[in-house]
């Protein structure tokens, strides 16, 4: 099998993993080295559903000794298999970087032979990039659950970000769909990475040139819709993971049926993209707006309203806390007003020191008055002419356009292999564009 066939198979197999991000790490380029990483993000291209495509997102192999029911690469699924060597991974990454196709690498893998052997192969690939090619660009690598702690520690010294995918929200779901995995086997490396990052932070305070361990932190992914787990269960797990393991991000992946199994939704089931979107919004509220999971959902109402974003839904259910007087309300309360974000709340706090704010001033500060008008007053008065009825309020807060956006029939990750583009290339040009060393 030639390199192009391998690349096509292994980039296609990697597209279902959304837990990749290229922000959070700062490393400047140096003479004699290639690439750099920028803390505010090096991504410039996104697929229609928001997934980053500026990294070379690839598996080392799609062969796997595990049989997770939801995974297209499970050992019982009859798909084409391929595997790269560490040298091939390093060569391809450098070829794509030099052609300005990518700015970094997202590397994961199926489990070859054992977790330890797979991790050794990942380490070998990253050592070639960092040491032989002097590549200083962004690298995100998957930590393999079950691998030896010493191997995971070596891997973290070579990567900018590490992730351990928790995949399913409960132990019961893992037992049914991923019998080779357990919650403990996933949380153990997650805890190791957290401890190593903390230890490394202390070392960097003492020694300026101490080596960095996963300086961009760690992330994880949860699959949404493959199991009966509720949004309430998912959000509580999310909150716990952020608090205990100090994760940078938790990614939610709407389950796309790719294999037939009696334990999974049928193949004609649409991915729950709007539900995924609501969970991302709730995640943002936990991380930046001071909300707790128990405030947004409970056992009586365990799932988000698809027609209302979580913040609006909370505000409607807590009308006794509104209206808020924007000229006196504390910052924490301003953040809970629909239509007021983190930046606009900060601007309000700063601007009202110089004078009293009115609705016109709020609009200039970035407040979305279409939503905020129902929950605020300026100088003790509501917006002139505003009529607040239950139906008026709900109709104004529900976004029909947003609902239609997330019900599109097909949203696909952009592929490196655009048939129309390749067909337009002359044979000689095609060969020159995709020639690899090694």
Q: What is the CA radius of gyration of the chain?
A: 24
Would you say residue 307 has pLDDT above 70? yes
Q: What's the chain's average pLDDT? A: 83
Q: How far apart are CA 23 and CA 139, in angstroms?
A: 10
Are residues 92 and 135 in contact, defined by beta-carbon separation less than 8 angstroms? no
Cα separations (Å) of 157 from 29, 39, 50, 279? Answer: 18, 17, 29, 32
Give CA 208 to chain center in angstroms: 31
Q: What percentage of residues in the chain have a pLDDT greater than 70? A: 83
Q: How far apart are CA 378 and CA 270, in angstroms?
A: 45
pLDDT of residue 137: 84
pLDDT of residue 29: 67
φ, ψ of residue 311 in degrees (nearest 5): -70, -45
Model pLDDT for residues 18-77, shown as the tens digit of each residue: 665 544 455 666 777 766 655 443 334 444 345 445 788 889 999 999 999 888 888 988
pLDDT band with cut points at 50, 70 and 90 for residue 14: confident
Would you say residue 119 has pLDDT above 60? yes
Judge residue 252's burial from the number of C-beta atoms within 10 Å of its C-beta, 0-12 exposed, 13-18 middle, 19 or more buried: buried
Would you say residue 148 has pLDDT above 90? yes
How is residue 175 annotated by DSSP?
A: H
Which ranges in 159-268 belong to alpha helices (H)? 171-177, 183-206, 231-245
Q: What angle do CA 323, 326, 330 make, to 5 degrees?
A: 95
**Higher pLDDT residue, 288 or 179?**
288
Q: How far apart are CA 217 and CA 241, in angstroms?
A: 13
pLDDT of residue 16: 74
φ, ψ of residue 116 in degrees (nearest 5): -65, -45
pLDDT band with cut points at 50, 70 and 90 for residue 100: confident
Q: How far apart are CA 261 and CA 67, in angstroms?
A: 12
Q: pTM to 2 decimals?
A: 0.83
Nearest CA to 81 out of 63, 65, 99 is that of: 63
Cα separations (Å) of 310 from 252, 315, 322, 370? Answer: 16, 9, 17, 16
**Higher pLDDT residue, 182 or 52?**
182
Nearest CA to 335 out of 304, 375, 364 is that of: 375
How is residue 103 annotated by DSSP?
A: S
pLDDT of residue 295: 96
Q: How far apart are CA 174 and CA 181, in angstroms?
A: 7
Would you say residue 401 has pLDDT above 80? no
- The C-alpha torsion from 122 through 123 and 129 to 130, rounded to 10°, is 150
Helix (H/G/I), strand (E/B), else coil: 325: strand
Would you say residue 389 has pLDDT above 60? yes
Mean pLDDT is lowest, of 53-57, 129-133, 241-245, 415-419, for 415-419
Model pLDDT for residues 348-359, shown as the tens digit of each residue: 999 999 999 999
The tokens of 292 are what?
A: 């707790």
pLDDT of residue 212: 87
Q: What percentage of residues in the chain have a pLDDT greater than 90? A: 53
Would you say residue 303 has pLDDT above 90? yes
Helix (H/G/I), strand (E/B), else coil: 430: helix
End-to-end CA separation in angstroms for the chain? 14
pLDDT of residue 4: 86
| H or E stretch at 404 | helix 400-405
Which sign does the torsion angle of CA 404, 406, 410, 416 carry? positive
Top-confidence range, 92-106, 244-258, 290-304: 290-304
| H or E stretch at 276 | helix 273-288
Over residues 314-333, mean pLDDT: 95
Q: 3-state secondary structure string, 370-405? A: HHHCCCEEECCECCCCCCCCHHHHHHHHCCHHHHHH
Mean pLDDT is lowest, of 18-27, 111-120, 143-152, for 18-27
Helix (H/G/I), strand (E/B), else coil: 254: strand
Are residues 247 and 19 in contact, defined by beta-carbon separation less than 8 angstroms? no
pLDDT band with cut points at 50, 70 and 90 for residue 162: very high
pLDDT of residue 314: 96
Over residues 250-269, mean pLDDT: 86
pLDDT band with cut points at 50, 70 and 90 for residue 86: very high
| H or E stretch at 107 | strand 104-108
pLDDT of residue 437: 33
Mean pLDDT is lowest, of 62-71, 387-396, 406-415, 423-432, for 423-432
pLDDT of residue 247: 93
């Amino acid at each position: 099998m030639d390199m192009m066939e391998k690349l096509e198979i292994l980039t296609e197999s990697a597209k279902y993993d959304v837990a990749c991000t290229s922000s959070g790490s700062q490393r400047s380029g140096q003479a004699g080295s290639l690439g750099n990483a920028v803390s505010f993000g090096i991504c410039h291209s996104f697929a229609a559903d928001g997934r980053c495509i500026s990294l070379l997102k690839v598996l080392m192999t799609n062969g796997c000794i595990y049989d997770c029911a939801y995974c297209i690469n499970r050992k019982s699924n009859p798909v084409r298999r391929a595997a790269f060597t560490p040298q091939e991974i390093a060569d391809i990454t450098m070829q794509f970087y030099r052609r300005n196709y990518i700015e970094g690498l997202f590397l994961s893998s199926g489990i070859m032979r054992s977790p330890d052997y797979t991790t050794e192969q990942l380490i070998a690939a990253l050592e070639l990039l960092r040491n032989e090619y002097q590549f200083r660009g962004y690298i995100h690598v998957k930590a393999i659950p079950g691998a030896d702690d010493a191997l995971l520690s070596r891997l973290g010294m070579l990567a900018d970000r590490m992730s351990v995918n928790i995949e399913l929200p409960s132990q019961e779901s893992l037992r049914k769909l991923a019998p080779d995995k357990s919650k403990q086997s996933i949380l153990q490396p997650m805890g190791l990475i957290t401890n190593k990052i903390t230890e490394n932070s202390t070392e960097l305070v003492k020694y300026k040139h101490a080596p960095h361990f996963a300086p961009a932190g760690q992330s994880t992914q949860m699959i949404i819709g493959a199991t009966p787990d509720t949004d309430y269960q998912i959000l509580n797990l999310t909150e716990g993971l952020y608090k205990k393991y100090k994760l940078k991000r938790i990614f939610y992946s709407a389950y796309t049926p790719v294999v037939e199994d009696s334990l999974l939704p049928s193949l004609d089931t649409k991915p729950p993209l709007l539900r995924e979107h609501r969970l991302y919004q709730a995640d943002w509220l936990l991380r930046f707006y001071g909300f707790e999971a128990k405030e947004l959902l409970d056992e009586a109402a365990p799932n988000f309203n698809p027609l209302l974003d979580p913040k609006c839904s909370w505000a409607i259910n807590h009308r006794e806390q509104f209206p808020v007087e924007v000229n006196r309300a504390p910052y924490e309360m301003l953040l809970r007003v629909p239509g007021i974000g983190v930046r606009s709340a900060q601007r309000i706090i700063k601007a009202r020191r110089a004078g009293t704010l009115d609705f016109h001033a709020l609009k200039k500060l970035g407040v979305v008055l279409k939503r905020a008008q129902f929950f605020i007053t300026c100088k003790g008065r509501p917006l002139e002419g505003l009529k607040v009825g239950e139906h008026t309020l709900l109709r104004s807060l529900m976004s029909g356009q947003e609902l239609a956006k997330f019900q599109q029939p097909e949203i696909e990750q952009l592929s490196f292999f655009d048939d129309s583009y390749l067909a337009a290339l002359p044979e000689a040009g095609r060969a020159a564009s995709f020639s690899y060393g090694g």
